[in-house]
Amino acid sequence: MKDRTIALVAASYDPRAQTVGNWVARYKKEHAGDHDHKKASESAEIAKLWAENRELRQENELCEKSSHLACEGTPATERYELINWEEGYYPVSSMCRWAEVSRSGYYSWRETDLSPSPG
């Protein structure tokens, strides 16, 4: 029905073109929110997918740089060192999740490992 003009619909069903035009205008007015809501919902979904895609690309980049982190038995300190090295390029919270270490553990290690030695 979208492909047919108002005049063609009016000619097919016998009402006046003005009547069909009024029906179309009323329908559009009554359902305008439906389209806007659907469009907003689709935009939100697209934004969510873009963010997920970005995070997955970043995770792949980091994993390519240090595939040994995925190996069982890699010490947490090695994981922390990588996170520290890459900090600023990737979000710390994401790197901790990817390296399977806690954020608090990383920050604790960083404070003790990077603090100046007394002396």
DSSP per-residue codes, 27-73: HHHHHHHHHHHHHHHHHHHHHHHHHHHHHHHHHHHHHHHTGGGGSTT
Q: How far apart are CA 82 and CA 70, in angstroms?
A: 12
Task: Please indicate, yes or no, if residue 27 is contained in any of the structural domains.
Answer: no
- Per the listing, tokens 């060192």 go with 81
Predicted local distance difference test score (pLDDT) of residue 3: 72
Q: Which residue has the higher pLDDT, 55 or 19?
A: 55
Task: Please indicate, yes or no, if residue 71 is contained in any of the structural domains.
Answer: yes
Q: How many CA atoms does the CB half-sphere of 29 hold within 13 Å?
A: 6
Task: Please indicate, yes or no, if residue 21 is contained in any of the structural domains.
Answer: no
Predicted local distance difference test score (pLDDT) of residue 117: 56
Residue 18 has pLDDT above 70, yes or no: yes
Task: Please indicate, yes or no, if residue 63 is contained in any of the structural domains.
Answer: yes
41, 33 Cβ separation under 8 angstroms: no
57-115 pLDDT per residue, tens: 888 887 777 776 656 678 888 889 989 999 998 899 999 988 889 999 999 999 886 65
Domain count, the chain: 1
Q: Which residue has the higher pLDDT, 38 or 103?
A: 103
Give the range of the structural domain holding residue 45, as residue numbers without chain letter. 32-114
Average pLDDT, the chain: 80
Residue 4 has pLDDT above 60, yes or no: yes
Predicted local distance difference test score (pLDDT) of residue 29: 78
